[in-house]
Amino acid sequence: MGADAARRPAAAGTLGARLGAATAGLAAPLVVVDLDAFDANADDLVRRAVGVPVRVATKSVRVRALLDRALAHPGTAGVMAYSPAEARHLVDHGVRDVLLGYPTVDRAGVDAVAAAPAAAAAVTFMVDDDDQAALLADAARRHGTTLGVCLDVDASLRVGRGPLALHLGVRRSPVRTPADAVALVRALAARPGLQVRGVMLYEAQVAGMPDTDPLVRLVKRASVAELAHRRRDVVDAVEQELGRALTLVNSGGTGSLETSAPAARVTEVTAGSGLLAPTLFDGYRAFTPRPAAFVGLDVVRVPGPGWATVTGGGWVASGPAGRSRLPRPVAPAGLRLAGREGAGEVQTPLRVPTGADLRVGDRVWFRHAKAGEAMEHVDHVHLVRGDRVEATVPTYRGEGVGIG
């Protein structure tokens, strides 16, 4: 923060004043996580899961120190990771229950897991196709280990039949019905070295959509009701084929804990975004997460009355291109992105409200649209409590891991 800004603190008690005081002297761009908000969010996720264990989604955090912090909360159990390389990294640092949320064809990554007995025991791979299983079975054979697998079953809602059918949800898995699941289990049984550990049904159309719109709420209710029956039938069919009970039936996300956790046959739910509370989770009525992650950028010029320009800012979230994926300025209050420029890679102009006074060197705080993705832009994140930094810890990027 510039010398002038240091002499002109924001109004006492505001978010900008607190974060500014904590990070005075630290160069921007920077990311901070408010520990009080993070811990409160972790407690709230566990409360909403009504006694069902919460698996922490790592791609929504991407900071190992914060993952450890979340796992220290009673009621959390294990992580859902993105890639075999990440899974092996987490096991090497003490995590003993890793469910991969997605199938993989990363031969080197699978080989690294299969080659280490501790990792092979701790990691469960996601499959929805026998070709994925073939790669896993080959690694298990070469290293003399057994690899656990979980069936990824499509949880989207389909309304109607034939050419008029509507698909509501993500395009995820070709496995949808009990018959589909049984066929995959039989294919897996023909591949030595693989063990079916569970089933996952992630209802993205419930967990990932704000529920402020009446039509969205209607779709969510219909989806929850349909999936409750189909989940039960899929699990029953798989257990009958295996001749034993499944210990892992995963479902849910931050936006659907209330409906996923109490559903029949569910043994655990997954959540991660709710720990940091990005802007895409501002529109839910069932819960109110506390914003915990903030991006700090500095004003480098004032091009005219009512304007200020910060360096960088173009950390746009994944998903369908649109304003909802842009970072949002939150401190000082009242700042807005320029409609014709949005968030830029090297600079971002901001509309400044009447009466506000931003000068060169002042620090502006943003919230990202998606949890975890901001961590891909920095090597370290500053953990803040009140108006001071308690610790500075590496992100995945800082550890040389990356999400891929």
Q: Are residues 334 and 351 in the same domain?
A: yes
Query: Dihedrals φ, ψ of 134, to 5°?
Result: -60, -40
Tell me which residue of 217, 296, 398, 293 sits closest to 16, measured CA to CA. 296
Amino acid (one-letter) located at 25: G
Tell me the per-residue pLDDT of 341-376, one tens digit each, with 9 for 90 and over: 999 999 999 999 988 889 999 999 999 999 999 999
Query: Dihedrals φ, ψ of 236, to 5°?
Result: -60, -45
278 in any annotated domain: no
Q: How many CA atoms lie within 13 A of 220 on its CB side?
A: 23
388 in any annotated domain: yes
Could you tell me the residue range of the domain that residue 375 belongs to? 3-29+291-399
Q: Are residues 146 and 176 in the same domain?
A: yes
Q: Are residues 19 and 161 in the same domain?
A: no
256 in any annotated domain: yes
Q: Are residues 241 and 140 in the same domain?
A: yes
Q: Are residues 141 and 165 in the same domain?
A: yes
Tell me the per-residue pLDDT of 289-331, one tens digit each, with 9 for 90 and over: 899 999 999 999 999 999 999 999 999 988 888 888 999 999 9
Query: Dihedrals φ, ψ of 9, to 5°?
Result: -65, 155
Q: How many CA atoms lie within 13 A of 322 on its CB side?
A: 4
Tell me the per-residue pLDDT of 143-202, one tens digit each, with 9 for 90 and over: 999 999 999 999 877 665 666 666 666 778 899 999 999 999 999 999 999 999 999 998
Q: Are residues 20 and 45 in the same domain?
A: no
CATH of residue 18's domain is 2.40.37.20
Domain boundary residue, one of 273, 308, 335 = 273
The 3 state secondary structure assigned to the chain is CCHHHHHCCCCCCCHHHHHHHHHCCCCCCEEEEEHHHHHHHHHHHHHHCCCCCEEEEHHHCCCHHHHHHHHCCCCEEEEEECCHHHHHHHHHCCCCCEEECCCCCCHHHHHHHHCCHHHHHHEEEEECCHHHHHHHHHHHHHHCCCEEEEEECCCCEEECCHHHCEEECCCCCCCCCHHHHHHHHHHHHCCCCEEEEEEEECCHHHHCCCCCCHHHHHHHHHHHHHHHHHHHHHHHHHHHHHCCCCCEEEECCHHHHHHHCCCCCCCEEEECHHHHCCHHHCCCCCCCCCCCEEEEEEEEECCCCCEEEEECCCCCCCCCCCHHHCCEEEECCCCEECCCCCCCCCEEEEECCCCCCCCCCCEEEEECCCCCHHHHHCCEEEEEECCEEEEEEECCHHHCCCCC
229 in any annotated domain: yes
Task: Using pLDDT thresholds of 50, 70 and 90, give the confidence band for residue 1.
Answer: very low
Q: Are residues 128 and 234 in the same domain?
A: yes
302 in any annotated domain: yes
281 in any annotated domain: no
280 in any annotated domain: no
Tell me the per-residue pLDDT of 44-100, one tens digit each, with 9 for 90 and over: 999 999 999 999 999 999 999 999 999 999 999 999 999 999 999 999 999 999 999
Q: Are residues 305 and 182 in the same domain?
A: no
Domain boundary residue, one of 246, 273, 300 = 273
Tell me the per-residue pLDDT of 235-290, one tens digit each, with 9 for 90 and over: 999 999 999 999 999 998 888 898 899 999 999 999 999 999 999 888 787 788 89
pTM value is 0.91
Q: Are residues 208 and 66 in the same domain?
A: yes
CATH of residue 252's domain is 3.20.20.10
Give the chain's domain count: 2
Residue 191: partners with Cβ closer than 8 Å, 6 or more residues away: 130, 133, 134, 136, 137
pLDDT beyond 80 at 213:
no
90 in any annotated domain: yes
Q: Are residues 21 and 140 in the same domain?
A: no
Q: Are residues 46 and 146 in the same domain?
A: yes
Q: Are residues 249 and 333 in the same domain?
A: no
Domain boundary residue, one of 221, 245, 273 = 273
